[in-house]
Amino acid sequence: MGRYYSGDIEGKFWFGLQSSDAASRFGGQEFEPQYISYHFNRDEHLEELESEIGRIEESLGNNKVIIDDFFSKTNSYTDKMLEDADITNEMLSDYADLNLGIKIRDYIIENDTCNFDAEL
């Protein structure tokens, strides 16, 4: 069981690390029934998206390469595996948000807008 987002982009929030409102970090307009509906458009949100993506990448620094390498070898993890790889939950949470932000940005660049619903 997990929480998903769907619409122009689709995916699954990282269990125990990523909240359903993770896309709020990048701006956009939020509507909240039992889903959070997000709307992003190139003119209003691309600059903020790029800025937040840059802040996350700067915060992660070389740890992004370590996490990329870790997930190139596995698609699941345990606390022990993360500890052995010197990856913290905070780093992993930022990494998950970074991937979401990149997905939103890339869709906006190609399609001008991005709309999706995030399960609560």
- Whether this prediction's pTM lies above 0.85 is answered by no
pLDDT of 27 over the 60 cut: yes
CB atoms within 10 A of CB 75: 6
Listed by start position, the domains of the chain span: 4-119
- Going by pLDDT thresholds of 50, 70 and 90, the confidence category of residue 1 is low
Amino acid at 61: G
Instruction: State the chain's mean pLDDT as an integer.
Output: 92
